[in-house]
Amino acid sequence: MIDTKVVVIICEELEELEVLIEASEHAIDDEGMKDLETKLDHLMWKMNVVFVCVAIVLLSVVVKYLI
- Sorted by where each begins, the domain ranges of the chain are 1-67
Which tens digit of pLDDT belongs to each residue from 21-64?
Answer: 777 666 666 777 788 889 999 999 999 999 999 999 999 999 99
Greatest alpha-carbon span in the chain: 103
d(CA 37, CA 44): 10
C-alpha dihedral over 47, 53, 57, 58, to 10 degrees? 40
What pLDDT, on a 0 to 100 scale, did the predictor assign at position 1?
46
